Amino acid sequence: MKDILRLSLPLTIWLVSFSAIYGLHGVLCQFDWSGLSGPFGMLWGRLVLVAAWAVAVVLQAMTLVVLLTPRFGGPPGFMRSTTLTLAIVALVAAAWTMFPVAVLSLCL
């Protein structure tokens, strides 16, 4: 069962991060917090969303690193290699699907 949980973990983390950032964006826009000026001439909304994206990417990278270790990655073989493949997929997914927070208008 541990193998199944390991297999499910990376993309589940992506799904949670993705949903959380979507929800965070909704909250920022609904309560007009996105337009508040922050440091470096940036809006607070942008800073918060980019920071959340960075956290999500770092989390996925850490998951990959942890799964690479023998202690948490499980014994070598099919399940381990598939889990690592999925951890890489999840890292790419986190970088790609949340990338818009850095470039698009916030609440238009």
Partner 1 sequence: MTDLPDLSSPTPRRAEALRLHRKLTPIWSARPGLRGVLTTNNNNLVGGIFLAAATLFFVIGGILAMLIRAQLATPGSAFMGPEAYNQVFTMHGTVMMFLFAIPFFEALAVLLLPSMLGTRDMAFPRIGAYGLWVYIFGGSAVILAMLLGLSPDGGWFMYPPLSSAAFSPGIGPDVWLLGISSIEVSAIAAAIEVVVTVLRYRASGMSLSRMPIFAWYILIVAVMILTAFPAMILGSLLLELERAFGLPFFQADNGGDPLLWQHLFWLFGHPEVYIIFLPAAGMMATILPVMARTKLLGYGWVVAAAVSLAVLSFGLWVHHMFTTGIPHLALAFFSAASTLVAVPTAIMIFSWIGTLWKGRPTFDLPMLWILGFFATFVIGGLTGVMLALVPFNWQAHDTHFVVAHLHYVLIGGYVFPMVAAIYYFQPVIIGRTRFFKIGEVAFWITVPAFHVTFLAVHLVGLMGMRRRIWTYDEGQGWTVINLIASVGAFVMAFGFALVILDVVVNALVAPRSRRNPWKAFTLEWATSMPSPMYGFASIPVVHGRYPLEMDPGLPVSIARGEGLLADTSRNRRETLVVSTTDGTPAQVAILPGNSWLPFTLAVVTSTSFLAPLVGAYMLAVAATTGIVVVALIWAWTQGSRTDEGLIDVGHGLRLPTAWEVPDPPGWWGLLMLLLADSVLFGSLLFGYAFLWTIAPNWPPPSYLNPGLAMPALALVGAAALVAGPRLAARAVLRQGRAWGGIGLAGLGALALAGAAASVWLLRPNPTGHAYDATLWVLAGFVLLHTTIAVIMIGYLLARVIAGYLSPRRVGEARIVQLWADYTALTSLVALGAAWLPGAFP
User: 19-49 in b/e burial notation, b at 16+ Cβ within 10 A?
Assistant: eebeebbeebeeeeebeeeeeeeebebbebb
**Dihedral of CA 22/27/32/37: which sign?**
negative
Residue 67 interacting with partner 1 (CB under 8 A): no
* DSSP label at residue 102: G
Site string for partner 1, 19-48 (x = CB under 8 A): x-xxx-xxx-xxx-----------------
Residue 97 interacting with partner 1 (CB under 8 A): yes
- Give me the residues that bind partner 1 (CB under 8 A), please: 1-4, 7, 11-12, 14-15, 18-19, 21-23, 25-27, 29-31, 77-79, 81-82, 85-86, 89, 92-93, 96-101, 104-108
